[in-house]
């Protein structure tokens, strides 16, 4: 397995820095006049629950009432049931079941209402898709990852005021609706720019942390899934998965992962078009891009897994009992070591050496584990450490 880190010290810094993401200071996030939007009803349509949760949080911050749909077909059904349920639709373009363009055409045709603002939200930047969105009946276009200020400004452009007119002048001292200053946050979760991620979620460190942990769980096996779909020539569904991954990663600051996913998405589209034309091509470029995507994910996934373990353990066990006689300051690093050993990762040797020097001098289980590590028998080393710290084994 790839050696992800040069030393366990670097791993500890990554984990602990991520643990201590701080919210932006209050003065750096100013929700300026939002009276125009307060009480407005918006239907949010996106197949990524990560993006829906982030966008919902931004919208609710300015008083918008949000309803969600996970694909275009669900959005069309909701509008059939109650055409007056919302005053605006934020419509993702590439979705399963029914994409955003087809859903918009259906809503326009069935409801006969050409005035309802439907705004395209997409990770694509090409003019062809923008024109297709406009031709389908959409009225505007937002690029993922969503910029909070641009999102709110766009909504202000298309939503009529819903507050009484006498309140409209309150807070009119600023033209921008949402100002987000770049926070001074750590940026050493491998593969992620946490500053960019914080800005995407409106400076909410707790929300970013929760979305990153969900991202780590959701996409841990995504490359294997894409390989299986490609092997079955299910290229279009695989492309949708890669597209959703790209959008979620970009929203949370995972620019390297998003770039790799974008390359995979492009190759899957080429494969789909070639298959439709009856042309058989080489799978080598796709496999190389999938390997690059896995490498990009592998920078962050072990840290996110360790964070998930510590988060779960903290929620379910008293701090004093969590590590038995393992110092609380060493819990994150110890759990990261467990993951490296369990993954048979060579980097476990350096991580083990650092912790043994600090924790295991003269301890029989640590000495037995050291013998196993020297022999590269990481499973046996893990067994000795689990015997030494059984509470840690139960939390993993």
CATH of residue 127's domain is 3.40.50.2300
Q: 76 and 216 share a domain?
A: no
Lowest mean pLDDT among 117-121, 247-251, 281-285, 291-295: 281-285
User: How far are the Cα atoms of 36, 274, 293 from residue 264, in angstroms, in the given order?
Assistant: 41, 15, 8
Checking if the pLDDT of 122 tops 80, the result is yes
Dist. CA 38–CA 40, nearest whole Å: 6
pLDDT at 31: 41
Q: Taking the CA atoms of the chain, what radius of gyration do you get in angstroms?
A: 24
Tokens of 246: 């790209």
pLDDT at 180 over 70: no
Confidence bin at 329 (pLDDT 50/70/90): low
Mean pLDDT on 127-154: 90
Domain assignment present for residue 195? The answer is: yes
- Indicate whether 193 and 226 sit together in one domain: yes
Predicted confidence (pLDDT) at residue 253 exceeds the cutoff of 90: yes
| Residue 242 domain flag | yes
- Average pLDDT along the chain: 79
Position 160 confidence tier, pLDDT thresholds 50, 70, 90: confident
User: Pick the residue with more confidence: 271 or 389?
Assistant: 271
Percent of the chain at pLDDT exceeding 90: 41
Mean pLDDT of 268-282: 84
Least-confidence region, from 29-43, 74-88, 128-142, 151-165 = 29-43
Q: At residue 179, what are phi and psi to the nearest 5 degrees? A: -110, 120
Asked if residue 309 is part of any domain, the answer here is no
The phi, psi pair for 386, rounded to 5°, reads -70, -30
Give the pLDDT mean for 45-50.
93
Is 117 inside a domain boundary? yes
- pLDDT for res 101: 95
Q: Does residue 281 fall inside a structural domain?
A: yes
Tell me, what CATH number does 284's domain have?
1.20.120
Same domain for 192 and 332? no
Whether 308 maps to a domain, the answer reads no
Residue 314 has pLDDT above 60, yes or no: no
Q: What percent of the chain has pLDDT over 70?
A: 75
Q: Same domain, yes or no, for 33 and 165?
A: yes
- Which of these ranges, 116-120, 131-135, 190-194, 279-283, has the smallest mean pLDDT? 279-283
One domain, residues 230 and 198: yes
Dihedral (Cα; 133, 138, 144, 150), 10-degree rounding: 140
Amino acid 282: pLDDT: 66
Structural domain boundaries, residue 135: 29-180
Chosen domain end from 303, 326, 348:
303
Whether the pLDDT of residue 340 is over 90: the answer is no
Report which of residues 5 and 245 the model is more confident about.
Answer: 245
Residue 198 pLDDT grade (very low, low, confident, very high; cuts 50, 70, 90) = confident
Residue 225 lies in a domain: yes
* pLDDT score at 27: 37
Average pLDDT rounded to a whole number, residues 12-39: 50
As a whole number, mean pLDDT of residues 202-214 equals 87
Residue 124 shares a structural domain with residue 247: no
The 10 Å Cβ neighbour count of residue 59 is: 21
Average pLDDT over residues 329-350: 75
Max Cα distance, the chain (Å): 79
Q: Are residues 34 and 120 in the same domain?
A: yes
Helix (H) or strand (E) holding 122: strand 118-122
> How confident is the model over 72-98, as a mean pLDDT?
94
Residue 273: CB partners within 8 Å, gap ≥ 6?
A: none
Report the alpha-carbon angle 380-382-388, nearest 5: 110
Strands 41-45 and 65-69: parallel
Asked if 190 and 299 touch (Cβ cutoff 8 Å), the reply is yes
Domain end point (choices 281, 303, 325): 303
- Angstrom CA distances, 277 to 120, 268, 273, stand at 30, 14, 6
Q: Tell me, yes or no, whether 4 lies in a domain.
A: no
Residue at which a domain ends, from 270, 303, 336? 303
Name the helix (H) or strand (E) containing 272: helix 255-276
**What angle (nearest 5°) sits at the alpha carbon of residue 390, between those of residues 384 and 392?**
105
- Looking at beta carbons, which pairs linking 384-390 to residues 24 or more positions away fall under 8 Å? 385/337, 385/338, 385/341, 388/363, 389/323, 389/324, 389/326, 389/334, 390/324
- The domain tally of the chain equals 3
Is the per-residue pLDDT at 321 higher than 50? no
Looking at the structure, tell me whether residues 166 and 34 fall in a common domain.
yes
Q: Based on the domain organization, do 286 and 322 belong to the same domain?
A: no
Average pLDDT over residues 344-366: 79
| Highest-scoring range by mean pLDDT, 163-172, 244-253, 300-309, 356-365 | 244-253
Instruction: Read off the DSSP letter of residue 25.
Output: P
Q: Are residues 299 and 326 in the same domain?
A: no
Cα-flanking dihedrals φ and ψ of residue 253, to 5°?
Answer: 95, 10
């Amino acid at each position: 397995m790839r050696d992800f880190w040069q030393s366990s010290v670097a791993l500890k810094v990554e984990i602990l820095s991520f643990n201590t993401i701080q919210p932006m200071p209050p003065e750096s996030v100013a929700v300026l006049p939002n009276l125009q939007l307060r009480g407005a009803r918006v239907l949010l349509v996106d197949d990524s629950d990560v993006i829906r949760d982030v966008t919902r949080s931004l919208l609710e911050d300015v008083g918008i009432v949000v309803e969600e749909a996970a694909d275009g077909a669900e959005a069309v059904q909701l509008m059939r049931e109650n055409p007056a349920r919302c005053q605006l639709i934020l419509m993702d373009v590439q979705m399963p079941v029914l994409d955003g363009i087809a859903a918009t055409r259906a809503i326009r045709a069935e409801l006969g209402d050409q005035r309802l603002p439907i705004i395209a939200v997409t990770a694509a930047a090409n003019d062809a898709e923008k024109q297709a969105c406009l031709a389908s009946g959409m009225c505007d276009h937002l690029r993922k990852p969503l910029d909070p200020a641009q999102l709110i400004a766009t909504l202000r452009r298309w939503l009529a005021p819903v507050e009484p007119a006498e309140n409209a002048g309150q807070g009119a001292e600023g033209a921008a609706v949402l100002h987000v200053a770049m926070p001074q946050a750590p940026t050493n979760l491998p593969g992620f720019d946490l500053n960019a991620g914080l800005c995407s979620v409106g400076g909410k460190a707790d929300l970013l942390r929760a979305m990153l942990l969900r991202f780590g769980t959701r996409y841990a096996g995504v490359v294997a899934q894409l390989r299986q779909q490609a092997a079955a020539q299910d290229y279009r569904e695989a492309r949708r998965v890669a597209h959703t991954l790209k959008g979620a990663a970009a929203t949370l600051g995972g620019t390297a992962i998003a770039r790799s996913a974008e390359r995979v998405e492009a190759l899957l589209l080429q494969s789909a078009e070639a298959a439709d034309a009856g042309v058989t091509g080489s799978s080598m470029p796709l496999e190389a891009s999938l390997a690059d995507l896995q490498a990009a994910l592998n920078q962050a996934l072990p840290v996110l897994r360790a964070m998930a373990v510590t988060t779960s353990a903290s929620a379910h066990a008293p701090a004093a009992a969590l590590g038995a006689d393992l110092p609380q300051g060493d819990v994150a690093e110890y759990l990261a070591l467990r993951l490296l050993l369990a993954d048979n990762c060579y980097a476990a040797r350096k991580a083990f050496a650092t912790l043994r020097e600090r924790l295991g001098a003269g301890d029989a289980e640590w000495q037995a584990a050291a013998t196993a590590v020297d022999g590269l028998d990481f499973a046996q080393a893990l067994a000795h450490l689990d015997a030494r710290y059984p509470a840690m084994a139960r939390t993993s």
